[in-house]
Structure 1
Amino acid sequence: MTCHSSDSAETPRSERRSETDARVVDSDQSRIAAAVRDLSKTGWYWGSLTANEARKILQDAPEGTFLLRDSSQRDYLFTISAMTSAGPTNLRIEYKEGKFKLDSVVLVKPKLKQFDSVVHLVEHYVLLSRTSCRSNSSGGGGRPPPSPAPPNGTVQLLMTTPVYAATPSLQHLCRIAINKATGRVQDLPLPNRLKDYLTDYAYHV
């Protein structure tokens, strides 16, 4: 039996650390690159729009209108700009350990959901907002009941209607409608090329 000395068999700890760090960086870069690819297909990602420019776009829009843009703060990648009952507001998206989530106060952070992609994050809050709006408007008897006032003088953030940077194609709008209608695209009697197009953006917003 041959024995190797620990010097020759063990990779130095600093080297192992740097290899792990390199893998994490590669993973982060590929995850962020995939997020940007997905965002580029949405039509409501505005890229390097400033906060003031976003405010001007949203200022006359109804509550719940939103867009997504690059964050102007170095520690964040993206920001959601949305119209609330108190006017336009901005909410940063945090990226940490391979996941995206909304930035918020420290006490709320553990409760916030985390997502593999930015579009999935936006989709979640859009569906949540639309469900909330439907339930509020189904009270019957004419006017919908008012939403309960959020605590501490804050405003409720709704995200229901995206602002498109350019008019989306009819194909893209159809793709969203089909994905809303079924989660079984592969079972549809369609050519494989069309199925690939539908699954290339399998979101509802």
Structure 2
Amino acid sequence: MAEGGTRGLRERNSDIHILTGTLNKLEASGWYWASVSRHEAAALLRGKEEGTFLVRDSADPGHLFSLSLQTARGVLSARIVYTEHGTFRLDSIGRPCDSPHFDCVVKLLDFYMRESSGGTTKHRWVEPCGSPFPLKVSRPLICKVCDLKHLCRRTIHAHTQKGQVDDLFLPEALKTYLKAYPYRH
């Protein structure tokens, strides 16, 4: 097989690994609403606290996922872009170079939730008209109850600092399970 063909196969395998891992983590999160439409998402979020969000499948065939978010200006939706480098970023955050990139959608949302928990955020949501305003992502809208072991895993992460799992007095198998989903939401 030619070098270009081998490289292309490696890249496709890498994409499959990234996308499969992301989908597994989204499904475990309890706040991935899958095939809910933009209008259904807006109805679900209407009246919720500012910063409440859900992730759903994108109606745009060029994108996999969308974020629907209750803001001070109402419910807005943004595509989650999967880049050629195997990372995800929000489509409506200033210029693409200003938007942080992550290897997983759950990691992307975890970043914005942590950033929003401080009360201020340096990232701005840019409306189609070009008007920017602060991006506040604070609370997922749950669509299903997760199993007990996953809820326990999230609780442990909510009460420990990032990276402290190795310091816990737990069996290695449990530490591995905790590390597989290192997010508090």
User: TM-score normalised to the size of structure 1?
Assistant: 0.77
Name the residue aligned to 1:197: 177
Name the residue aligned to 1:178: 156
CA apart distance, 1:45:
0.7
Spell out the pairing of 1:102-113 with structure 2 (5 A cutoff). Answer: 102-104=90-92, 108-113=95-100
CA apart distance, 1:57:
0.3
Deviations 1:97-131 (A, max 9, x none): 111111137x6111111111111100000111111
Distance 1:19 1:169, change over 3 A: closer
CA apart distance, 1:188:
1.6
Name the residue aligned to 2:110: 123
Does 1:158 pair with 2:146? no
Name the residue aligned to 2:88: 100
For 2:57 and 2:152, the matched residues in 1 are separated by 27
Does 1:72 pair with 2:52? no
- Kindly indicate whether the alpha-carbon contact (under 8 Å) linking 1:185 and 1:199 is maintained by their aligned counterparts in 2: yes
Spell out the pairing of 1:77-92 with structure 2 (5 A cutoff). Answer: 77-92=64-79
- Kindly indicate whether the alpha-carbon contact (under 8 Å) linking 2:28 and 2:146 is maintained by their aligned counterparts in 1: no
Structure 1 or 2, whichever has the larger Rg, is 1
SS of 1:62 mapped into structure 2: coil
- Kindly indicate whether the alpha-carbon contact (under 8 Å) linking 1:101 and 1:113 is maintained by their aligned counterparts in 2: yes
RMSD, matched Cα: 2.3
- Kindly indicate whether the alpha-carbon contact (under 8 Å) linking 1:39 and 1:119 is maintained by their aligned counterparts in 2: yes
| Aligned partner letter, 1:34 | G
For 1:166 and 1:75, the matched residues in 2 are separated by 27
SS of 1:93 mapped into structure 2: strand
For 2:12 and 2:140, the matched residues in 1 are separated by 32
In structure 1, runs of 5+ residues without a counterpart are 1-10, 136-149
CA apart distance, 1:21:
1.9
Spell out the pairing of 1:5-24 with structure 2 (5 A cutoff). Answer: 15-24=2-11
For 2:29 and 2:142, the matched residues in 1 are separated by 8
For 2:68 and 2:30, the matched residues in 1 are separated by 15
For 1:61 and 1:184, the matched residues in 2 are separated by 33
CA apart distance, 1:191:
3.2
CA apart distance, 1:31:
1.0
For 1:176 and 1:116, the matched residues in 2 are separated by 20
| Aligned partner letter, 1:168 | C
